[in-house]
Copies of this chain bind each other. A is one copy, B any other.
Amino acid sequence: MSETSLSGRPLRADARRNRERIVEAARELFAECGRDAQMDDLAARAGVGVGTVYRHFPTKEAVMAELLRQRFASFADNAREALEDPDGEPFEVFAALLRRNAELMARDAATRHALTGMGQTVWGPAAGERERLLGITAELIARAQRAGAMRTDVTASDLPMLMCGLSATMGSGGAAFDWRRHLEMLLDALRAPGAPRPSA
């Protein structure tokens, strides 16, 4: 989907290059300015005319939506790697994934702005990747629960909720919140009551 035009046809080579440059420039610009980033600036940074940006993305929100979609794809890829980890205590595999994806989100202000500052419009295009992530997460959760290391009432759909909350504390919360601490508290909340905690 990231390689086809709005009409669904494969893109000409120069158009594909332009599209990639736009997305890359957008990631930088939205990270700096959030929703206030300007389309003219985006075009300039990408080295194209504004019209070209609009040829690839119908609106400004559509640009942010694509950034979000790509990020969810990375999340899902990381989840798949975690799933294929042969050994490793199931809860810790799960916890490591959350830490890894959180680090990724912490470095990507553009995605955080999309997550916290925008309505449903932005979610649509990412829905597919989101489902993929959710499916793999469900499997990781099931494993940890079978091992008796995770509370049995945790569902996969709890995770987007918690991570969305976490992203809010990373972002412009005004103060510099310690999101790593926040994440560890969440992990503690997910652990089975009696289960042994790691070192700490």
Q: Could you tell me which A residues sit within 8 Å of B by CB distance?
A: 34-35, 115-120, 122-123, 158, 160-162, 164-169, 171-175, 177-179, 181-182, 185-186, 188-190
Contact = CB atoms under 8 A, between A and B. Distances in A.
Shortest 10 CB-CB contacts between residues of A and residues of B: A165-B165, A168-B168, A189-B189, A123-B174, A117-B117, A161-B177, A116-B116, A185-B189, A119-B172, A161-B169
- What is the oligomeric copy number? 2
Main secondary structure of the interface of A (DSSP, over half): helix
Contact of A164 (B173, B186, B190): B173
Contacts of A174: 119-120, 122-123
Among A115, A119, A160, A164, chain B packs the most CB atoms within 10 A around the CB of A164
Nearest to A178: B161
A161 B172 CA distance: 11
B160 A173 contact: yes
B189 A165 contact: no
Given A117-B116, A189-B188, A165 B158 contact: no
Contacts of A115: 168
